[in-house]
Amino acid sequence: MASGFVHAREVTVSAASSLTNAFKDVARSYEAAHPGSKVLLNFGGSGSLLQQLAKGAPVDVFASADIETMDMAVAKGLVSAIGPRDFARNALVLVVPNDSKLTLMRLHDLRQPSVRWIAIGNPASVPVGRYTRHALVAAKLWPTLSAKVITTQNVRHSLDYVARGEVDAGFVYATDAAIMPGKVKVAFEVPLAIAIRYPIAPVSGSANAAEASRFIDHVLSPAGQAILAKYGFRKP
């Protein structure tokens, strides 16, 4: 009996890598507001998390870094069609190692011979990669820069490559750049024709539907939004 009660108060959340720091705080805030509840967090590239859901991973809440991935989850019946709600926005930036001497002020500056390697999330499965591709295609630079690109599994991998100086530059979210102020610096914010929106939804068939709904409400509450703002996320 006790075991069943504990299980009923658990909620498993699969969230985009860029939400790692903020959602750890949101989870602590939720648990403090709801004694007896436990939030289990799983982070990764949004596309990888979608694949896990499709394979039956026991998840209650899905938070993606883009609308496209959430739309695929809806189309596959993995989340409710009326479930997704936007809870945050972000910006795409180009970062360089903190000791970089490169002068990069716009996308076309990446054509410089001194820029040898650029970290970009895999556009096939990582939202930050798709946003980057949108920007580079719009600037007519995607074919030109392809030989310099190092693809990564998620935005945090791109950030790590830049922080370690293994690449000359990388495309990440503004919120990711903010967590490594001593290791990376923002060269510029990348202009985008589309907004970077983060949707969240309960997973279809969740065994903990009530807890999932309550966690989502907490993310969208003033308390949850204040935590997201602290980490640089913009209002939805």
Question: What is the tens place of the pLDDT at every residue in 100-126?
Answer: 999 999 999 999 999 999 999 999 989
Given this model, what pLDDT does residue 3 score?
A: 41
CA separation, residue 73 to residues 53, 63, 64, 199, 207 (Å):
8, 11, 10, 11, 18
Per DSSP bridges, beta strands 61-63 and 149-152 are unpaired
Tell how many helices (H) and how many strands (E) occur in the chain. 10, 10
pTM of this structure: 0.89
Cα dihedral 31, 56, 16, 110 in deg (nearest 10): 170
Q: How many angstroms from the chain centroid is the CA of residue 23? A: 11
SS3 189: strand
* CB environment 113-123: b (16+ within 10 A), e (fewer): eebeebbbbbb
- Mean pLDDT of the 70-87 span: 92
Intra-chain end-to-end CA distance of the chain, in Å: 41
Beta bridge partners of 205: none
CA atoms within 13 A on the CB side of 2: 0
- Residues 151-186 pLDDT 10s: 999 999 999 999 999 999 999 999 999 999 999 999
| For residue 81, pLDDT beyond 60 | yes
Task: Give the residue among 60, 80, 67 at the shortest CA–CA distance from 194.
Answer: 67
Q: For the chain, list the domains and their CATH numbers.
A: 2-89+195-230 (3.40.190.10), 92-189 (3.40.190.10)
Indicate the average pLDDT of the chain: 94
- By the 8 A CB rule, do 143 and 113 touch? no
| For residue 40, pLDDT beyond 50 | yes
SS3 233: coil
